[in-house]
Chain A
Amino acid sequence: MSRRRSVHLAIGLVLVLLVAGAVLVSYVWLPFAPDDTSGGRLVPPGGDHLLGTDKLGRDLFTQLLIGGRIALGTALGAVTVGGVLGVSAGLLAGFATRWLDDAAAVTLDILIAFPTLLLAMLIVAGTGASLGTAILAIGLAMAAIVARLTRVLVKQVLARDYITAARIAGISWPRIVLDHVLPNIGPVVLVNLALQAGLAVLAEASLSYLGLGTPPPNASWGRMLFEAQATVLTAPTAAIVPGAALVVLVIGINLTADGLRDLTDPTRRRSR
């Protein structure tokens, strides 16, 4: 069974690298300038414009590549914010005892009751729509989820005998965290962050679709889909391709996360 899991990992990595490769290429070469509208409006696919043009005459393939930068940037940015904040908060909460521990648990539960998209909308409401705001908002919402997971994992590790042994041996808490706690919780947290990265990409696309994420003229895939909705009968490509790109990236991230989980979790490797 582990063979099939490594197939998951391989397919996932190929899909993610496909998007990452296209994004890297976009920095050195684009088929057209992003604001070049000389090709005419709603040109069908084929010929000069591989995927045709949008209703303003911009080349769709160019837009797609630029949208890839935003999608990948969101994934990396949100995971960085969510990972750093979430793991730090989770570590602190994991060490808390008695009423401080209860307070941390309840606070995290309530933060999680505000789902990612709502929390992001709330922050956008105050600061105005921009890509940075969207990434920060998604990252903050992610931090609550990561913190709750980290807290539980830290509690489990701290209950282990080897931690008691280390304490008796006179090792300081910072050393114990670095040498025992982090290495033990690391793999599970990383896999969770990978899964969250896929959700972050979808959340940014949703926000941009609603007009609350990346503002025009930047081409986020969600925004491209919103713009394509009005002309879906005459120019179906514009409504299909950005969505397909989103699916490719998110499946890639999810499969990679699945594969990583089974690589790092020996119990799962054995049983299924």
Chain B
Amino acid sequence: MIPYLVRRTAILIGSLFLAAVALFVLLRLLPGDPANALLPVGATPEQIEAARRELGTDASLPSQFLSWLGGIARFDLGKSLISTLPVGPEITARLPVTVPLTLAAFVLAVLIAVPVGVLAATRAEKWYGPVINAIAQLGIAVPAFWLGLLLITVFALNLRVLPAGGFPPDGWADPGTAVQSLILPVVTIALVMSASLIRYVRAATLDVLSADYLRTARALGATAREAMWRHGLRNAAVPVIAVLAMELATTFLGAVVVESVFALPGLGGLLVRGISQHDYPVIQGVMLVSTATVLAVGFLGDVTQRLADPRLRIRSAS
């Protein structure tokens, strides 16, 4: 396990570095001069030159890259072109919205998807088996922002039980209001996410149900329930964990769109604002944080999968 952890950590660090390179190269390859964001239409060449110097985009590409990388190492992501505020604190100020939103939605989605998916597989012959499949099929086709819009219409505008959007400006000072304003966004993301998750859980459970070891356990006298609990669940969990890690990353990104629907001051709102204002340091910063999160979650997923499945450990040792 230790050699695996070392190797996997090395891959994680390498991927993070390459992701930083990819992000840098992609943004520099794109047409459009960031200096334009600072300047009025019809600026003189001298003004453009001055703006480039101010942004540091007049330096050679390798030296720009090194200074960016050096900044990252000191947790300095540069300054916004528009507000001139440092990007790092601006990102951390938004985490108290995005992180609880993502985690709560993820937990709720798992709580919905695991029992429902297992039920859809073990009770496939009952009337609700096909119904679950149909609903899941419908769910993966529903755009999250539309579901959010419908939920706002029903619960905020018609029933008036929850706020239609926004987040208290003083954050979590009043936890009650903060939680209330996150309920609809959390439900929106969780419902959309659980649709695809149900299909994975169902497929994984079906695979396990037809496995030889389950038949052996039954032949040795275990009831269907005992066999499933003792041998089935742990085996079904392995592919599901891999998918869960990917799904957590997807939830985090789904939050980008859903935050806009509910006018939440999270990372998504920051990114969308950065893009529409061509504010490159903000875009770079948010993208870097998101990508790093996605990679880190993938790392945790791989490690957990290995802990859950001893066979993976043996195979790698040989």
Question: A residues near B, CB below 8 A?
Answer: 106-107, 109-111, 113-115, 117-118, 121-128, 198, 202, 205-206, 209-212, 222, 225, 228-229, 232-233, 236, 239-240, 243, 246-247, 250-251, 254-255, 271-272
- Residues of chain A contacted by B67 (CB below 8 angstroms): none
Chain B 283-318: CB-based contact to A (< 8 A → 1; otherwise 0)? 100010011001100100000000000000000000
Contact, CB under 8 Å: A124 / B138: no
Given A125-B283, A206-B143, A222-B143, also A110-B22 (CB < 8 A): yes
Give A205 to B257 CA distance when docked, in angstroms: 11
Interface flag for B221 (CB, 8 Å): no
Contact, CB under 8 Å: B257 / A209: yes
Q: Which of B40-48, B92-100, B147-155, B166-174 contacts A (4 or more CB under 8 A)?
A: B147-155
Q: Which of B23-31, B55-63, B111-119 contacts A (4 or more CB under 8 A)?
A: B23-31
- Residues of chain B contacted by A117 (CB below 8 angstroms): 253, 256-257
Give A123 to B143 CA distance when docked, in angstroms: 22
Give A211 to B149 CA distance when docked, in angstroms: 16
What's the minimum C-beta distance from B8 to chain A, rounded to whole angstroms? 13
Give A98 to B255 CA distance when docked, in angstroms: 39
Most buried by A among B143, B210, B257, B274: B143
Give A229 to B27 CA distance when docked, in angstroms: 32
Number of A-B residue pairs, CB cutoff 8 Å, is: 127
Contact, CB under 8 Å: B142 / A247: yes
Most buried by A among B30, B210, B249: B30
From residue 264 to 296 of chain B, which have CB atoms closer than 8 A to chain A? 271-272, 274-276, 278, 280, 283, 287, 290-291, 294-295
Contact, CB under 8 Å: B15 / A106: yes
Contact, CB under 8 Å: B30 / A125: yes
Interface flag for B176 (CB, 8 Å): no
Most buried by B among A222, A243, A255, A271: A243
Contact, CB under 8 Å: B260 / A232: no
What's the minimum C-beta distance from B32 to chain A, rounded to whole angstroms? 5
Interface of B is mostly: helix
- Residues of chain A contacted by B108 (CB below 8 angstroms): none
What's the minimum C-beta distance from A65 to chain B, rounded to whole angstroms? 19
- Residues of chain B contacted by A205 (CB below 8 angstroms): 143, 145
Contact, CB under 8 Å: B14 / A106: yes
Give A228 to B145 CA distance when docked, in angstroms: 12
Contact, CB under 8 Å: B18 / A115: no
Given A117-B257, A122-B26, also A250-B275 (CB < 8 A): no
Contact, CB under 8 Å: A212 / B272: yes
Interface of A is mostly: helix
Residue from B140, B146, B295 within 8 A of A113 (CB atoms): B295
Contact, CB under 8 Å: A246 / B256: no
Interface flag for B91 (CB, 8 Å): no
- Residues of chain B contacted by A128 (CB below 8 angstroms): 32
23 contacts between A and B (CB under 8 A): A113-B15, A113-B294, A114-B23, A114-B291, A115-B253, A118-B291, A123-B30, A124-B275, A202-B143, A209-B143, A210-B272, A212-B276, A229-B149, A232-B149, A232-B152, A232-B153, A233-B157, A236-B153, A246-B143, A247-B138, A247-B141, A247-B143, A254-B140
What's the minimum C-beta distance from A114 to chain B, rounded to whole angstroms? 6
Chain B 238-260: CB-based contact to A (< 8 A → 1; otherwise 0)? 00000000000110010011001
Give A272 to B129 CA distance when docked, in angstroms: 14
Most buried by B among A114, A123, A251: A114
Give A113 to B272 CA distance when docked, in angstroms: 19
Give A254 to B199 CA distance when docked, in angstroms: 13
Residue from A211, A232, A255 within 8 A of B157 (CB atoms): A232
Residue from B250, B260, B298 within 8 A of A209 (CB atoms): B260
Question: A206-B143, A240-B150, A246-B143 are known contacts; what are 5 more A-B pairs with Cβ within 8 Å?
Answer: A125-B275, A205-B145, A206-B144, A228-B149, A243-B142
Residue from B26, B138, B260, B283 within 8 A of A210 (CB atoms): B260
Contact, CB under 8 Å: B253 / A126: no
Contact, CB under 8 Å: B257 / A111: no
Give A123 to B278 CA distance when docked, in angstroms: 11
What's the minimum C-beta distance from A144 to chain B, rounded to whole angstroms? 11
Give A271 to B19 CA distance when docked, in angstroms: 41
- Residues of chain A contacted by B22 (CB below 8 angstroms): 110-111, 114
Given A125-B283, A239-B149, also A198-B141 (CB < 8 A): yes
- Residues of chain B contacted by A127 (CB below 8 angstroms): 30-32
Residue from B145, B157, B249, B275 within 8 A of A225 (CB atoms): B145
What's the minimum C-beta distance from B275 to chain A, rounded to whole angstroms? 4
Residue in chain A with minimal CB distance to B274: A125
- Residues of chain A contacted by B223 (CB below 8 angstroms): none
Give A209 to B18 CA distance when docked, in angstroms: 31
What's the minimum C-beta distance from B256 to chain A, rounded to whole angstroms? 7
